[in-house]
């Protein structure tokens, strides 16, 4: 069972990917984690990726796919995996598709966690974080007992730059330009499944497990 998770930033796809991985006993493969592991272990691919990252450049698609294929070729992936954070663009999807086809393999499901932009903006701009102890809150869903103050350590809560409305809107714009076309790509392949990401975390997961069976 080889699954790709799609969805805008803040749609909750990372959380769902972890839950799928736990339930179906397959690895949750995040490209960020693989890069870090390869760099930490000083692998040839990791060192090559580091050259780009040190210059603030994006790692080329071919190299990213090489690192990814190296990861999914490991024993723990033989029953499948959940890909989170890749592919982000059509060229990446095409390189991945070609590489898997050459191995006689393919993606079984591309699951799109669909959440309207206005919900994401509200969801993310309502987040508050404690920089002292790392606790996170949401002004509507998980408010602190005292406004603006961390329940755990009493420090002041802040709205992180990443969660500011303007930043969220920019990230959504990039997502729509680059990643939204993947929905058409995987629809044409006949593997796209959509779930309503505005529902509760449990309801979204229930909808995904019904798809996966």
Count of beta carbons in the 10 Å neighbourhood of residue 145:
8
What is the pLDDT at residue 53?
86
- Please report, for the chain, the start and end positions of each structural domain, with discontinuous segments joined by +: 2-117+180-212
Tell me: the pLDDT tens digits for 197-209? 999 999 999 999 9
Exactly one of 98, 152, 160, 177 is catalytic; name it.
160
Residue 57 — very low, low, confident or very high, per pLDDT cuts 50/70/90?
Answer: confident
Exactly one of 2, 13, 66, 128 is catalytic; name it.
13
What is the pLDDT at residue 108?
97
In the predicted structure, residue 111 carries a pLDDT above the cut 90: yes
Catalytic residue status for 160? yes
Mean pLDDT for 152-164 is 93
Helices (H), the chain: 13-24, 31-40, 44-54, 61-72, 90-102, 117-125, 165-178, 181-188, 201-212
What class does CATH assign to 2-117+180-212?
alpha beta
Nearest CA among 37, 21, 38 for reference residue 76? 21
In the predicted structure, residue 19 carries a pLDDT above the cut 90: yes
Exactly one of 2, 71, 123, 127 is catalytic; name it.
127
Catalytic residue status for 88? yes
Catalytic residue status for 127? yes
Mean pLDDT for 47-74 is 89
Count of beta carbons in the 10 Å neighbourhood of residue 105:
13
Residue found by looking up tokens 């029953």 in the block = 79
Catalytic residue status for 152? no
Exactly one of 2, 66, 71, 88 is catalytic; name it.
88
Catalytic residue status for 122? no
Exactly one of 18, 50, 122, 171 is catalytic; name it.
171
């Amino acid at each position: 069972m080889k699954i790709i998770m799609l969805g805008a930033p803040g749609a909750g796809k990372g959380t769902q990917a972890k839950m799928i991985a736990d339930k179906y006993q397959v690895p949750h493969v995040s490209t960020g984690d693989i890069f870090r592991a390869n760099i930490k272990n000083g692998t040839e691919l990791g060192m090559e990726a580091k050259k780009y990252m040190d210059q603030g450049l994006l790692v080329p698609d071919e190299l990213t796919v090489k690192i990814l294929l190296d990861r999914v070729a490991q024993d723990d992936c033989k029953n499948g995996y959940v890909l989170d954070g890749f592919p982000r663009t059509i060229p990446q999807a095409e390189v991945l598709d070609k590489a898997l086809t050459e191995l006689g393999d393919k993606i079984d499901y591309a699951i799109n966690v669909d959440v309207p932009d206005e919900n994401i903006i509200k969801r993310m701009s309502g987040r508050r974080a404690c920089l002292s102890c790392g606790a996170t809150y949401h002004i509507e869903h998980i408010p602190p007992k005292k406004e603006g103050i961390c329940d755990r350590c009493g420090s002041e809560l802040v709205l992180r730059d990443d969660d500011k409305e303007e930043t969220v809107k920019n990230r959504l714009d990039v997502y729509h330009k680059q990643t939204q076309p993947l929905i058409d790509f995987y629809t044409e392949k006949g593997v796209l499944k959509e779930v309503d990401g505005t529902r509760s975390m449990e309801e979204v997961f229930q909808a995904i497990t019904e798809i996966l069976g």
